[in-house]
Amino acid sequence: MLTIHNLHAGIEGKEILNGINLEIKPGEVHAIMGPNGSGKSTLASVLAGRKDFEVTEGSVEFFGKDLLGMPPEKRAGEGLFLAFQYPVEIPGLSTTNFIKTAVNEIRKYRGEEPMDALAFLKLMKEQMAMMDIDQSLLSRSLNEGFSGGEKKRNEIFQMAMLKPKLAILDETDSGLDIDAIRIVANGVNKLRSKDNAVLVVTHYQRLLDYIIPDFVHVLYNGRIVRSGSKKLALELEEKGYDFIKNEIDVSEEVNQ
């Protein structure tokens, strides 16, 4: 479904991603871990189409289509979703109006009729209940004054409403207590099917206790330096990122 080939990207001439290669197939869960500043959010943003970053080399295909040539809304229409590490507050735009517009825009992209108002309301209430989101958030401005946990749950709620084929979660677990992590994981697991995939970006492995990954990749200095199974996450947890850093930095010195 997603094929990343030798992806290089940066900002204002500064290279952040240094040749990422990654293949995600339907049904799979991938985790990307790595120390702060290694480029995890940059990768997620580049995939979602943030304009600030410039792709200097490489390609990304999504269901065989050139992802990088599409504006963000088309990527969403094609089934990509990014749960933001820092969801944006939009005073004056109600959560309901926002979700309704998003759902219907994506339906329009897919050639479907707008959702009937009653059906929409029903679906929304169900999904909110699942994410343990208070109904009062609906009439409030999008993310404005939401607590950290509310923002993250709101991201997963949006995901549940939009039903993407590939969901990228950027540190959705950060700042969440264990109950909230369970709720978020439950939301994600509900979406999982043989046709959908999830890319979990996280600093810690604890979310991976609930969303069990098929593959774990370690990102360091803009490159995937290690890939493995769930066990790799546990190893990182135990030894910390320094052991990877030391290994890589040593081998880079040797190579020079």
Partner 1 sequence: MNTIEYFKERFDLLQSVHKDSGLDIIRQKAFNTFNKMGIPTTRHEEWKYTRISGLFNKEYQFPVTQTATSLSQKDLDAVRLPGHEQASELFFINGLFSFPLSVVRSEALVVMPLEEAAKNEYKDIVSKNFGHSSNYLKDGINALNTAFVQGAVFIHVKKGQIPEHPIYIYNITDARSGNILSQPRSLMHISENAQVQIVETYTTIGLEESFTNQVMEIIVEKDARVEYYKIQNDASHTNQVSTTHIRQVGKSYTHTVTISLDGGIVRNNLNVVLDAEYCEAHLYGLYFQQGQSHIDNHTVVDNVKPNCFSNELYKGIIDDNATGVFNGKIFVQPQAQKTNAYQSNKNVLLSDTASVNSKPQLEIFANDVKCSHGCTVGRLNEEGLFYLQSRGISEKIARSLLLHAFAVDILEHIKPEPIRKYVDKLISERLEFDIT
Ligand X SMILES: Nc1ncnc2c1ncn2[C@@H]1O[C@H](COP(=O)(O)OP(=O)(O)O)[C@@H](O)[C@H]1O
For the bound state, the minimum distance from the C-beta of residue 203 to Mg ion, rounded and expressed in Å, comes to 8
Determine which residue in the list 18, 21, 59, 97 makes contact with partner 1, applying CB under 8 A.
97
Nearest by Cα to 141 from 87, 93, 88: 93
Locate 135 and state its tokens: 């109904």
Determine which residue in the list 52, 116, 177, 253 makes contact with ligand X, applying CB under 6 A.
52
Which of the stretches 34-42, 71-79, 89-97, 147-155 binds ligand X when contact is defined by CB under 6 A? 34-42
SS3 assignment, position 150: helix
For the bound state, the minimum distance from the C-beta of residue 6 to partner 1, rounded and expressed in Å, comes to 24
Hey, what amino acid is at 87?
A: P
Nearest by Cα to 38 from 242, 252, 250: 242
For residues 144, 148, 149, 151, the Cα torsion angle rounded to the nearest 10 degrees is 40
Backbone phi, psi, residue 90, to 5°: -125, 90
Strand arrangement of the beta sheet that strand 65-66 belongs to: 14-24, 2-11, 54-62, 65-66
Determine which residue in the list 1, 20, 28, 34 makes contact with ligand X, applying CB under 6 A.
34
For the bound state, the minimum distance from the C-beta of residue 168 to partner 1, rounded and expressed in Å, comes to 10
For residues 61, 63, 64, 66, the Cα torsion angle rounded to the nearest 10 degrees is -40
Between 117 and 254, name the residue whose CB sits nearer to partner 1: 117
**What residues between 31 and 90 interact with Mg ion by CB under 5 A?**
40-41, 85
Determine which residue in the list 9, 39, 168, 211 makes contact with ligand X, applying CB under 6 A.
39
**What residues between 42 and 61 interact with partner 1 by CB under 8 A?**
48-52
For the bound state, the minimum distance from the C-beta of residue 34 to ligand X, rounded and expressed in Å, comes to 6
Beta-carbon count within 10 A of 43 CB: 27
**What residues between 152 and 191 interact with partner 1 by CB under 8 A?**
158, 162
Which region holds residue 55: left if phi is over 0, alpha if psi is between -120 and 50, else beta?
beta
Which of the stretches 27-35, 73-81, 217-225, 246-254 binds partner 1 when contact is defined by CB under 8 A? 73-81
Q: Measure Cα distances from 158 to 118, 139, 173 in Å.
A: 18, 15, 16
Between 13 and 111, name the residue whose CB sits nearer to ligand X: 13
Instruction: Map residues 108-147 to x or -, x wherever contact with Mg ion holds by CB under 5 A.
Output: ----------------------------------------
Q: Report which residue's Cβ sits closest to Mg ion.
A: 41
Nearest by Cα to 145 from 179, 102, 95: 95
Between 16 and 166, name the residue whose CB sits nearer to ligand X: 16
E strand or H helix that includes residue 60: strand 54-62
Binding residues for partner 1, rule: CB under 8 A, are 48-52, 71-73, 75-77, 81-82, 84, 87-88, 90-93, 97-98, 101-102, 105-106, 109, 141, 158, 162
Binding residues for ligand X, rule: CB under 6 A, are 11, 16, 34, 36-42, 52
